[in-house]
Amino acid sequence: MIKKLGLGTWSWGNKLFWNYSTSSNNDLFETFKEALKRGYCLIDTADSYGTGRLNGQSEILLGEFLSQISKYQKNKIQIATKLAPYPWRIGRRGFDRPYSNSLERLNRNLDVVQLHWSTERYNPYQEIQLLNNLCDLNEKGFKFKIGLSNVGPKKLLELIDLLSKRNRKIYSVQVQFSLLAPDLEKQKKIKEICNKYNIAFLAYSPLSFGLLCKNPYENQVVNKSFLRNAIFNIYEKSTFELRLALLEIANKRSVSQAQVAINWCCFQGAIPIVGLRKKEQVIDIAGVFNWDLSPNEFSHLNDLSLKINKRLPSNPFNSK
């Protein structure tokens, strides 16, 4: 099995959910360098990452880090961002300035541009205009691949057809995909479409905000944000049996629970986008390159996952 890993940077600048502080920037740089060293294939960010006055901080940090490495190192990894289809970003020029701003923040290192979410629920025509906008930018000489995020199987097929009429293809699709993700059957339909059209299937939140890493027997209070504490409290009991199974496999394999949860994604051909802030975390997750879940282990985790009725909430802008 050929495995690929991506590094997620949502937490780089997010104070509300991840307690970001500028004092952690050195740790983030070490995280970035270790990801390159360990064979991560992609670094994923977004123009909306960063709370309040820190809006865009994730891209800014990544751009600064990229300026401090060699061209050889940069060529080993792809840089992907997501442009937010805010209601005021409309028409065939709606992404012109956001794209230019992201390109500048990223020190002109940008390989994949993704539509951050579907606009089907509030302006069905907007995403069509914005994707045409990205095709227009390609035709003007800006070289990047086009990706999608938070899209359903029906809409994915429509957008594949849309881009084909512009002689463009969708390079990647990014969805919430983990043992606790909502609509798993829907996500697996997306994976089937991706397989058919040779589209990279990216799994975001593969560790369910860190919940799948939590030892089922440990109840100590961890220094988390109010929102993350709330999520842990809501799902603590309902996920106990699943987390126990993760721990048992981890102990048997002499690996971490996180590696087991990530390998569940890899087993299905997904590229997990793992949000990390420490060098040690990067090293640990890279351990998935060294082993595979057995079919029985995968089936057992799958069965336990499907028994959990209370799953994580889905993105409110997901399309059908």
Residues noted as catalytic: 49
Residue 174 pairs with which residues in a beta bridge? 149, 202
CA distances from 265 to 128, 181, 188, 207, 315 (A): 30, 11, 11, 10, 19
The number of residues making up the chain comes to 320
Tokens of 295: 């079919």
How many degrees, rounded to 5, is the angle at CA 259 between CA 255 and CA 265? 150
Q: Phi and psi of 64, rounded to 5°?
A: -65, -40
Q: Are 264 and 298 in contact (CB under 8 A)?
A: yes
The CA distance from 194 to 43, in Å, is 20
